Structure 1
C-alpha cells in the first residue's frame, strides 16, 4: 500500500480542487470567478497524474520502506488535502479585515463620474469609500445609497459594513469598510444590506476622512452571497 502514497496524495489534492471548483461555487471563497476553468483543469490534471502514476509504478518500488521515515511524513501531508476535501474553510471574514490597517485608496482628490439616476443607488463598499474620501465633486451629497457587506466592530462599539476586495485570490485581499451610524449593530460577521446617506467627515483626501460614514435608514440581514468578495 505504501507504494501508492504519492499517487494517493495527488488524488486527494486533485479531488479537493475539483470539489470546490467543479461541483458548486465554493471556489469563490478563494479566487475570482474567471479562474474557475484553470482550477478545474488543474484538478483534473492532478487526478489523471495520480491514476497514471499508480498504474505505472512497479510493485517492487517500495523496497526498504521500513528504513524510510519520509513515507510517514508524506502521509501526514494528506491531512490538509483531506480537510479541504471534507471541510472547506469559510470565506475570509472580520478577523482578516481587522488584521489590516485602514486601506487608503491610491488615487488623489478629484472628480468622479456622476452616479446613476434613482435612489437608492447600489455601490460597492470600496466605491462608496473612494467617493466619500476623495470626490471633490461631492457626488454622494443628497443621495441614498445601498451597501452590502459583513459586520465588523471596534472595542468601543463602533460598527462597520465591511467587504474584502480581491484582485486575484484570497491571498491578496484588502479591506473596504464604512462606519454605520443611527442603527443597532447586528452580531459580528452577520451579512447585511444597509441603505442610508453619506455623512461628511474630516478633510477631503486626508486620514481624518477615513473611514467613511453612512447614516443608516435601514439595516437588513441577508444570507452570505455566493461570491463574498468585491473586485477592485
Structure 2
C-alpha cells in the first residue's frame, strides 16, 4: 500500500474538497460563496491527479514483469551474463517513512468530520476594534417595522450615525450568543472579507428581555427590539451598542454563518 500513498493522499484531499464545495454548502463555514468554483475545480484536479498517480504506480510492477519475461527468452547464457547487472534492480523500492501517512489525517478529518464554523471562542478573542469611521449621517432606513439589519449595519448606525436613524425604530437581527463572566450576553456575528482566517466580530448587547436567563452560548437566535443610546457618538463608550429586546427566538444556524464586509 505504501506504493500508492501519494495517490491516496491526493484522492482523499480532492474528495474532501468536493464534498464541502460541490455536494454541500459546508464550504461557507470557511470561505465566501464566490470562491466555490475555485474549490470545485481544485478538488476535481486533485482527484484526477490522484487517479493518474495510482494508475502509474499500478502499471510500474506490470511493466517490470513484462521486461523480465522478455529477458528470459534470450537464453540461459544471456541470463547469466546480465543477471548480476539487473538482479539488484528489481524489488528493492525504498518506501517512504511510515509517518508520512499522518499527512492523510487532515484530509480524512475534512472528509468525515468537517470543522464547524467559528463561534463564541473566536468572537471572544476579538478585541473591541472597529473600522475607522467618522461620525456622519447614514441613508434612511427602509419603511416598516421591524427592519432587518445585519449586526454590522446596526453597530455602525448606533456608534457613528449623527442623524440617529435607529431612534424609534424596531429592528431584527440574527446571530449567535456570547456571554461575559458577569452574565451580560450578546448577539454576535463574525464577518469576513475572504475566508474564516480574516474573521472579525460584531456584537450587540441584549437587555430588557423577560427570559429567565440568556440562551446557551453559541445558540443561534433572532432578536427583535429597539436601540438604546449609549455613550458619545464615535467613542469607545458607545461600543458595544445595546438593544432592548422585545423577543428572542431560537433559530437554526444559517447555511452561511458569516456576514460579508
TM-score range, shorter chain: over 0.9
Q: Give the corresponding residue for 2:222.
A: 193
Deviation at 1:102, TM superposition (A): 1.8
**CA distance in 2: counterparts of 1:167 and 1:64, whole angstroms:** 46
Aligned pairs, number? 228
Q: Aligned pair 1:32/2:32, yes or no?
A: yes
Q: Deviations over 1:160-217 (max 9, x none)?
A: 0000001111111000000000123111111000000000000100000000000001
Shift of 1:64: 2.2
- Give the 3-state SS of the residue equivalent to 1:77 in structure 2: helix
1:22 corresponds to 2:22 = yes
Given that 1:3 and 1:62 are in contact with CA atoms closer than 8 Å, whether structure 2 keeps it comes out as no
Could you tell me the TM-score, scaled by structure 1's length?
Answer: 0.95
> Which runs of structure 2 are paired with 1:59-98 in the superposition (5 Å)?
59=61, 63-65=93-95, 68-69=96-97, 72-98=98-124
Matched, 1:11 2:11: yes
TM-score, normalising length: structure 2: 0.85
- Aligned 1:173-212 pairs, distance under 5 A: 173-183=199-209, 184=211, 185-212=214-241
**Pair 1:143-2:169 in alignment:** yes
2:172 & 2:218 partners in 1: Cα distance?
18
Question: Larger deviation: 28-37 or 99-108?
Answer: 99-108
8 Å Cα contact 1:21/1:36 also seen in 2: yes
CA contact (8 A) 1:6 1:74 kept: no
- Give unmatched runs, 5+ long, in structure 2: 62-89
Q: CA deviation at 1:22?
A: 0.7
Of structures 1 and 2, the larger Rg is shown by 2
Q: Confirm whether residue 155 of structure 1 aligns to residue 155 of structure 2.
A: no
The answer as to 2:48 corresponding to 1:48 is: yes
CA-based RMSD: 1.3
Q: Contact conserved, 1:109 with 1:204, CA < 8 A, in 2?
A: yes
Equivalence map 1:100-179=2 (5 Å): 100-179=126-205
Runs of 5+ unmatched residues, structure 1: none
